[in-house]
Structure 1
Amino acid sequence: MNHVVNGLAANPALPPNLIDRLIEVADADLVGRLAYREDLSRPQAVALLSRVDDGGVSLAYGGRLTAADVDPVRHPYAALALLDQGLGSPEWARLFAGDARVRIREKLAACPGLPPDVTERLAADPDVGVVVELALWTREPGVAAPLAAHPHTDVRRAVAANEVTPRAVLAALLHGEGLPPAGQCPVCDRRSAPAAQDADAPCPAGRDAPPDASRDTSCDGSHALAAHDIRWAALANPATPAEAAAGFAGHPGHRLRRALGAHPGLPVRAARRLAADPDPGVRADLAENPAVDEASLRRLAGDEDLDVLRSLARNPRVPLDVLARLAGSARIASTLPPRIARASPEEVGRLAASPDAAVRMLVARRRDLPAAVRDALAADRDARVVKSVAPHPGLSEERLRTMVDRHGVHVVTAAALNPDASAALLEKLARHEPPVRKALREIARHPHAGAGALLACLTDPRARPLAAAHPALPPHVVTELLSDPDEWVAEAAAANPSLPLTVMRSLIP
C-alpha cells in the first residue's frame, strides 16, 4: 500500500486530469479510495470499474454506476450491489440464482424486490446459508412465513428474527407449536460433516443452553440448543406479540429473559417480575426499555448494580426526580440522557438551578439551552458544570477565555470543542501550560484552527495526523510531512487540499 498515493486519491483539491491519471494506475485499494470522491464523474467511475475484475461495490453503492455500466458476469458484486438498491435487472437475479458460487446466491437472497420465480428458487436452494439469508432479509411476509417450517433450525431462527414475519408465525416459533418438527440443526451438521472429529467437544461459548440441553455437541433429535436460539430470536424481535412473549419472564435461561426485558410491548406483569430478576444483565436491559411502567422504573432506581442504574439513566421515560438522584451515584454525567434531551423549558430551568452540581452537569450537556441558562452554567462555581457547557454554541469569546482562566486544565478540552472558538483562542489552548494532550486532538480537527495552533498540535503523536490534514496548515509544512516517518501522517498530508499542485503531480506514479 502506498499511503501517500492513497491520501492523494482522497484530496478534495485534486483536479480532474490528475484523477484520470490515478485511475490509470489504480489497484483495488486505490479504487476504493477514488470511489468515494464526491466529484467523481460517471465516465471516471466506469473507467475505474474496468481496473479491477471483482470491484465496483463501493462505486455502485455510491450512486456512481447504472445498470448499463455493469457487466454482471465480469462484475457480479457490483451488479449485486445495484440489485440490493433495486437498480439492477431482474435478469441478473435469475442469472445469479443459478450461480455455482454459494456466496453469490447468499448475497442475492439478501436483496429486496426479487422476482417471485427467483425467490421460489432461493427458498429451495440446496445450501442452507442461502435460505437463511432469504429468511432473514426478505421484506415479504408471504416469503418469510412458509420458511418457518423449513427442516433446518438455522432457517427457522432467521424467520424468527425477521420483523416482517407474521405475528402468528412468530408466536408459533416462540412456543414451538403448530410447526412440523425440525430435521437438522448446527449440531447435527457438525456431526455429519466429513471433517467432524470430536462429537463430545464443548458447545460454542456464549450459548445460554436450556437446562435440559446437553453441554456437548451431541443431538438426540430434539435440537434443544437450536430451539433455544429460535426462541431468543423471536423474543428479541419487536414484532413478536408481547402477550406470547410475556410467559418467558420466569424462564430459567437468562439470555431469553434479557431479550424479553427489551421487548417494546412488555406487559406490566412481566416487567415487574423481571425487575426482581436475580441476573443484573436482565435488570439492566429492562431498565433501558421505554415500555416499562413507572413503578418498575422506580424499583430499579434502588438497584445496587451500577450497570442497571446507568441503563435506567438512558431510559427516555425515567422520571426526572429519579434521574436527578442517579446523577451523582451512577456516574452518568459524561453523556446527555434522553430524558434530559426532551425536558421542557420549565424542567430545564429547574435542573439548571439545582443545588446538586451533578444535576446541573446533566442539563449543561444540552446544546439548545436558552442564552440566560447557558451563560449562568458557564459561570458556575463547579468546574465539572463549566466543562459540560463549554462546547455549547453561542458562548462569547470573552466568556470562553474566562472559563479557561478560572478552571484551567479542567475545561481546556471542552473549550476546544466549542464550534465558535476563534483561531486566537484555539492557539492559546494549544499552547496552554501544562499541555492538555486531548485538547490538541480536538484543536487539530477544529475548522477555525490557524497555523499557530496547528503547529503546536504537530508535537503530539495522536494529534499530528489530524493537523497534517488541516487546510490551514502552511503548504510548505504539508509538503514536508509527506516524508514523515509515520505513514498515517504522510497519508493525511497527501489528502490536505493545501498541498501545492506541483507536488500533487509529482506524487502520481
Structure 2
Amino acid sequence: MRSSPDRSGTARRHWRELAERACTDEAPFAAAALYPYAAPRERAGLEARMFGERRDRLLLASAPFVAPAVLARLAALDDGGAVQLRLARNPATSAAALGALWRADASPRLRQLIARHARTPRAVLGQIAAAAGEIETLRALCENGGVAAEVLATVSERRIGVLQRLLAVNIATAEDTLLALWAEADDEAVRAQILLHPHCPDVLLATVPASLLERRCLARQQRAPRALLAELANDRDAAVRRAAAENPGTPLAALVANCFDADATVRHAVAARRDLPPALAGCLVDDADARVRRALARNPACPPELLVRPATDADAEVRRAAARHPHCPHELLDRLSRDEVTWVQAAVAYRDELPYAVLRRLARSSDVDVLAGVARHPATAPSRLARLAIHDCPDVRRAVILNPRTPRMVLRLLRQDGYALHRAMAVDHPRFADTDRWRMRDDPDVQVRFRVFQHFARRDAMPAAHEASVHVTQLSHYQPHPPKEHMETT
C-alpha cells in the first residue's frame, strides 16, 4: 500500500466498493479474488458469500484459478464428499488443504485422488501407502511423481504385477528398486521402461538387449554408453535407429550413415539435432523427403549460408521453415516476405527482428495470419495497431493484446471486445491503466471480473493481509480448466 494520503483514501473506497459488489455478485469468484488480501475482520462477509450455498462451494472447489487460501478454508469446512472430491482433483489445492482432507476412514475415491495429487505431502503419501489395501489407491500412489522413493520401495515389496510398470515409470523410483523390479519382471514392457528410467542401474546399460522394445528404450537412454548408442544407430530396426539418432549422447561419427538411411524418419531425426555439424547438414539439404528438408531449415544448427536452397524449395512448408530459422539472412527474409504463399509470409511476420521495409510491406497484406504477425510485432506503428485492434478476425485482435508495446489508447478499443478472452488479457496488459480496469468491474464475464477484482485487491491490500497474499497463484491464461499433466510412458 502506498504512503500517499490521497492514494490511501482511494484504496479504501475501492476496497469497500469491491467488497460490497463481491458479496452480491452472482458468482462466488469475485469474493474469492478479494479473500487472500482481506484483513481478518473482513473475511467473514466474504466467506458467507463464498461458502453459504453448496452450489458455490462446488464451483470454488473445482476452480484452479482461485487462491490456495480459499481452497484451504474450504477444505477445513468438512463439507461432505462432493466438495472434497473436487478439491482433491483441483491442481491448485495446497499441501495443507490436502493434508486436512486426508483421514484413514476417507472414501476409496478420495484416497485415490489424494494419493495421485502432485501437492500431497510426502508424510500423507506414506500414511496412504501403509493403510491402502485396494489396488486402485496403490496405482494412484505409483503415478505420483512426488512420492518418496522409500514409499515406492515399500509398494514394490508387495510384488503386485499390475504395479510393476507404474513403478518403472515413476521418476522417483530409486535405483535399487529398479534393480529388484528387473529381477522380478517377466514383462518386456517393464524392463524396457526400466532401461529408459533416469535412475536405471549402470549394470543394465552394458549390453544390447535382444528384445526390440528394450532396444528402442535403450536407444533413448541418455546415460547409455556412447559405444552402445553407436551400435544402436546401425540397428536393423528403423525405430531403434531413429531413437539413437535423436539421442544427444550418440557420437556424431555414428550419424553419417543415418544421413543416408532408407527410412526418412531416421534422416529427419538427424536433421533436427541441435548439435548437427555443417558437413552433415550439407548432406541433408537436398534430401528427397520434404519433412527432412523442413526439419533442417528450421534447425538453428543449420548454417545460414545453406538456407538459400530451402528458401527456394518447391515445398511451401520448407520455405516457411527457412523463414523461421533464427539466423535467416535479411535478404532471404525479404524474398520470403514476397512469397506467393501467405503462410510463408506469415512466418516472416512473426519474427521480431525485421527490416522496417519488410514489416511495412507485410502490413499491407489482407491475410489474417500475416496481419496477426504484424499486430504482435514490437515495431508496428500505433496507428496501424489501432486499425488492427478493430479487425474482424479475433486472432488479429488477440495479437494486438499480446504485443507488449501496444499503447493504452489502443488497448482501450478492446475493453468491450466481444471475446471475454480478449478482455481478460487486456486487464493484465502492463500498459493498461487502472482507470480502464476499474471501468471493467461490471464486465459480464465472471473470469474478467475475477481478474479485475484480483488486480485491485492485490494493489490495495491492507498491510495485515499482504503477507497472506504473497503466495497467491496468478491466472496466467484464460482457461476454466488447465491442461492435465501426464506422465510419459513407453
- Superposed CA offset, 1:305-353 (max 9, x none): 1111222223223334323432342635656889x55xxxxxx5xx443
1:153 Cα shift?
Answer: 0.9
The separation in 2 between residues aligned to 1:42 and 1:356, in whole angstroms, is 52
Please report how far the alpha carbon of residue 263 of structure 1 lies from its aligned counterpart in structure 2 after TM superposition: 2.4
Task: Give the superposition deviation at 1:71.
Answer: 2.5
Q: Which has the higher contact order (CA 8 A, sep 6+)?
A: 2
Contact 2:142 2:167 in 1 (8 A): yes
Q: 1:295 to 1:390 in 2, by over 3 A?
A: closer
The correspondence for 1:7, drawn from 59, 82, 85, is 59
For residue 76 of structure 1, report the CA deviation from its aligned partner: 2.5
Which of 209, 213, 224 is residue 165 of structure 1 equivalent to? 224
1:374 matched residue in structure 2: none
Gaps of 5+ in 1: 177-223, 342-347, 362-379, 459-463, 474-491, 496-509
Map 1:17-416 → 2, pairs under 5 A: 17-21=73-77, 24-26=80-82, 29-38=85-94, 40-41=96-97, 43-47=99-103, 50-51=106-107, 52-59=110-117, 61-62=118-119, 64-66=121-123, 69-73=126-130, 74=132, 75-77=137-139, 79-80=141-142, 84-85=145-146, 88-90=148-150, 92-96=152-156, 98-102=158-162, 104-112=163-171, 114-124=173-183, 125-140=185-200, 142-146=202-206, 148-176=207-235, 227-329=237-339, 331-332=343-344, 334=346, 340=351, 351-354=354-357, 357-358=360-361, 403-404=385-386, 408-409=390-391, 412-416=397-401
The answer to whether the 8 A contact 2:221-2:247 is kept is yes
State how 1:445-460 maps to structure 2 within 5 Å: 445-447=425-427, 450=437, 458=444
Q: Partners in 2 of 1:98 and 1:141 — Cα distance?
A: 21
**Alignment check: 8 A CA contact 1:35 1:45 kept:** no
Question: What do residues 54-83 of structure 1 show as CA deviations (whole Å, max 9, x unaligned)?
Answer: 222453x2254436753315143464356x
TM-score (norm 2): 0.63
CA pair 381-95 structure 1, distance change in 2 beyond 3 A: closer
* 2:378–2:405 Cα contact (<8 Å) kept: yes
Instruction: Please tell me the residue identity of whatever aligns with 1:66.
Output: A
Cα deviations by residue, 1:254-277 (Å, 9 ceiling, x for unpaired)? 122212211233343432232111
**In 1, distance between residues paired with 2:480 and 2:217?**
45
Q: Which residue pairs with 1:429 in the alignment? A: 414
Partner AA of 2:253 in structure 1 = E
Distance 1:274 1:63, change over 3 A: same
- For 1:184, the equivalent position in structure 2 comes to none
- Return closer, same or farther for 1:244/1:409 CA change in 2, 3 Å cut-off: same
CA apart distance, 1:250:
2.0
Cα deviation digits, residues 339-387 of structure 1 (max 9, x gap): x55xxxxxx5xx443355257x6xxxxxxxxxxxxxxxxxx99999996
C-alpha contact (below 8 Å) 1:46/1:69 kept by paired residues: no
Provide the residue aligned with 1:218 in structure 2: none
Residue by residue, what CA displacement relative to the aligned partner does 1:385-427 show, whole Å, maximum 9, x if unpaired? 99657667999xxx95885269842775444446688998766
Once residues 468 and 232 of structure 1 are traced to their aligned partners in structure 2, the CA distance between those partners, rounded to angstroms, is 50
The residue type paired with residue 409 of structure 1 is H
Deviations 1:172-205 (A, max 9, x none): 11223xxxxxxxxxxxxxxxxxxxxxxxxxxxxx
Q: Deviation at 1:91?
A: 5.7
- Cα deviations by residue, 1:401-458 (Å, 9 ceiling, x for unpaired): 8852698427754444466889987664355xxxx64x553113432665765767x5
Q: What TM-score comes out, normalization by structure 1 length?
A: 0.61
Q: Offset at 1:136? A: 1.5
Preserved contact between residue 31 and residue 48 of structure 1 (Cα < 8 Å): no
Deviation of 1:114 after TM superposition, in Å, equals 4.4
The Cα of 1:155 is off from its aligned counterpart by 0.8
Tell me the distance in 2 between the aligned counterparts of 1:325 and 1:71.
63
Q: Following the alignment from structure 1 to structure 2, what is the Cα–Cα distance between the partners of residues 320 and 117?
A: 55
Answer yes or no: is the 8 Å Cα contact 2:258–2:267 preserved in 1. Answer: yes
Secondary structure, counterpart of 2:357 in structure 1: coil
SS of the residue 1:321 aligns to: helix
Task: Name the SS of the counterpart of 1:55 in structure 2.
Answer: helix
For the 8 Å contact 1:145–1:159, the answer to whether it is kept is yes
The aligned residue for residue 465 of structure 2 is: none
Secondary structure (helix, strand or coil) at the match of 2:287 reads coil
Tell me what 2:460 maps to.
none
**Contact 1:316 1:337 survives alignment (8 Å):** no
- Structure 2 distance, partners of 1:25, 1:389, is 51
Which residue in the other structure is 1:217 paired with? none
Q: Percent identity?
A: 21
Q: CA separation in 2, counterparts of 1:381 and 1:277?
A: 33
- C-alpha distance in structure 1 between counterparts of 2:209 and 2:480, whole Å: 54
Distance in 2 separating the partners of 1:303 and 1:333 = 14
Bigger proportion of residues as helix = 2
Give the counterpart letter for 1:93 in structure 2: A
